[in-house]
Amino acid sequence: MNSSLTARCVFLGAPGAGKGTQAKRVAQHGTGEAESGLTHISTGDLLREQVASGSALGAEAKTYMDAGKLVPDQLIIDMVKGKIERPEGLGGSAGWILDGFPRTLPQAEALDTNLSGENALTHVISFAVPEEVLMGRLTGRRTCSKCGAIWHIEHKPTSKDGVCDQCGGDLTQRSDDRPEAIGKRLEVYRSQTAPLLAYYGDRGVLREIDANRSPDVVFQELLTHMQ
């Protein structure tokens, strides 16, 4: 993929499938200073920012997130629409990756309503990982509170426990990466998000990646799909 890539993509997959890790890599991909130019939009990150800022929206969202449930469609649709409509949001970049949105059929339909013609989706990438692997990925996941880098206590440990190798920030565990919430999130994925595979499969934009491999291998294959 070169640095002038234009793509409007959705990354679909269960929690822990690697959507966020790969979306960050694709957005940063390029030669030298140049990045791919794609804007990475993670609805989970946007919600966590709202929670951290203490906003009313964040307070409402937190109760759903901690329980492993989806926040109401209208709340998330309005949030993503706000991004699309602002010039520095989706509309202003060479393209974008939506990571964690849509997660329900009404969200996918709302996206279609807002993106048509030259703004229509170009790729939907499905990250396939067996469920038994996801649990281990999620319970061991740690995120840097400063730069957002994602680590894993076994598969991708930092050189010093609890400290980010990239920026020295403190590592934290997401409150919804506890086993009780993870079970609920996987169930929600099966019942509400997995039906989107058929929704996008019918349109010929869906590509599936075997994401139960090393991040480097997944990344290389992802680039070939996004050319």
Q: Which of 19, 24, 48, 142 is labelled catalytic? A: 19
Known catalytic membership, residue 141: yes
Q: Does 21 bind ligand AMP (CB under 6 A)?
A: no
Sequence-distant (≥ 6) Cβ neighbours of residue 173 within 8 angstroms: 141, 142, 143
Sheet hosting strand 171-172, strand order edge to edge: 150-152, 141-144, 171-172
- Among positions 71, 97, 108, 110, the unique one binding ligand AMP when judged by CB under 6 A: 71
Q: What's the closest the beta carbon of residue 114 comes to ligand AMP, in angstroms?
A: 14
Known catalytic membership, residue 48: no
Please state the φ and ψ torsions of residue 173, each to the nearest 5 degrees: -100, 130
Tokens of 91: 């509309």
- Among positions 41, 100, 138, 189, the unique one binding ligand AMP when judged by CB under 6 A: 100
| Inter-residue contact 110 to 79 (CB < 8 Å) | no
* Nearer residue to ligand AMP within complex by CB, 136 or 168: 136
Total binding residues toward ligand AMP, as defined by CB under 6 A: 17
Q: Does 18 bind ligand AMP (CB under 6 A)?
A: no
Q: What's the closest the beta carbon of residue 32 comes to ligand AMP, in angstroms?
A: 30
Q: Round to whole Å and give the CA distance between 142 and 157.
A: 9
Chain mean position to CA 189: 13
Q: Does 176 bind ligand AMP (CB under 6 A)?
A: yes
Name the residue number minimizing CB distance to ligand AMP: 44
* Nearer residue to ligand AMP within complex by CB, 3 or 66: 66
Mark 106-145 with x for binding to ligand AMP (rule: CB under 6 A) and - for no binding: -x--------------------------------------
* Nearer residue to ligand AMP within complex by CB, 37 or 44: 44
Alpha-helical (H) ranges within 2-157 are: 19-28, 43-53, 56-66, 73-85, 105-114, 131-139
Q: Which of 174, 178, 207, 213 is labelled catalytic? A: 174
Q: Round to whole Å and give the CA distance between 101 and 12.
A: 8
User: Which H or E run contains 161?
Assistant: none
- Among positions 40, 137, 142, 185, the unique one binding ligand AMP when judged by CB under 6 A: 185
Q: How many CA atoms lie within 13 A of 149 on its CB side?
A: 17
| Widest pairwise Cα distance in the chain | 49
As annotated, the active-site residues are: 19, 103, 141, 174, 185
Positions in the binding site for ligand AMP (CB under 6 A): 15, 43-44, 47, 64-65, 69-71, 76, 100-103, 107, 176, 185
